[in-house]
Amino acid sequence: MVIIEATDKKWDDIISNKEKPVMTMFYMETCPHCQKMKPVFEDLEKKYGGKVSFARINAMNYLDITKRYGIVAAPGFKFFKNGKLLNEDNAVMKPEQLEQIAKDLESGEL
């Protein structure tokens, strides 16, 4: 498995995955919090990547997508199943919260 680097051209196909739910990370290259969360996101992909897809998108390079989902701070996380957005809030996520969400996505509880 691998973390997909999303672009505006691939975004809709990525989030519409019919086989697996998708955990996405909106990031910025210069964001120190994004750099701290990058290894966490990579570890989650290694642990749950068999049943959950992981994608990340540069928030500054694709502002139309960033704005569409109301991302105002990075890193931001959104979760999708069959193209449907599963979370509306933009709360700051801690590693343990992301892990629980990955477990819930994997088990189908979310």
Domain boundaries, given as residue ranges, for the chain: 4-107
Average pLDDT over residues 44-61: 97
Helix (H, G, I), strand (E, B) or coil at 36: helix
Residues in the chain: 110
Report whether the peptide linkage leading into residue 75 is cis, meaning its omega lies within 30 degrees of zero: yes
Whether the pTM exceeds 0.85: the reply is yes
Please give the Cα distance from 57 to 78 (Å, whole number): 11
| In the chain, % of residues over pLDDT 90 | 88
Q: Is 43 helix (H, G, I), strand (E, B) or coil?
A: helix
Check whether 48 has a pLDDT greater than 90: yes
Q: Which pLDDT value is given to residue 90?
A: 77
Q: What's residue 8's pLDDT?
A: 95
Average pLDDT, the chain: 94
CATH for 4-107, options being 3.40.640.10, 3.40.50.300, 3.40.30.10, 3.20.20.10? 3.40.30.10
Residue 1 has pLDDT above 80, yes or no: no
